[in-house]
Amino acid sequence: MRLEINGWSSKITFSATHIIPGHYKCGRLHGHDYAINATIFGTIGADGVIMDFISVKEFLRKIAAELDHKVLIPLRDEGVKKDGDSIRYSLRGKEYLFPLEDCALLDVAVASAEELADFVLGRVKEKVHFPDNVSRVEIGVDEGEGQGAWTGIDLKA
């Protein structure tokens, strides 16, 4: 059985800007409205539920709030350098300078939906306690409605 959390209808959303190096159109600074979605797989426990998914929704909202109205900075990109209270991002002959307070510094190589999904899953795995009857967790990050990337992890592996 599974529980599904739709980020759009549950208001687990954020707006942010990013750059996808190597893409013609997306290699420029641009933004999206994003949603974070989740699917939790497991068996029904003695209390009649897989788990209380309200705690998962609250945690996902916290991540969305951290990313909201920020520039998503991939710290593993070699063009990213901290410069005092700023982030300098050098990319294909362009140089961007962003105030640090306007940035979300992410331990990813590219601020793509795929890597954002992995980033969120890592945070969820680290901070959310899943009961023993939960076997798998999947996280999706949408860049606009109807398009996104999903990743997951088996908790019983």
Catalytic residue among 18, 103, 115, 143: 143
* Cα 141 from Cα 120, distance rounded (Å): 8
Catalytic residue among 26, 32, 114, 138: 26
Catalytic residue among 30, 58, 69, 145: 69
Q: Are 64 and 15 in contact (CB under 8 A)?
A: no
Q: How many CA atoms does the CB half-sphere of 132 hold within 13 Å?
A: 1
Based on the residue annotation, tell me whether 103 is a catalytic residue of this protein: no
Based on the residue annotation, tell me whether 143 is a catalytic residue of this protein: yes
By annotation, the residues acting in catalysis are 26, 69, 143
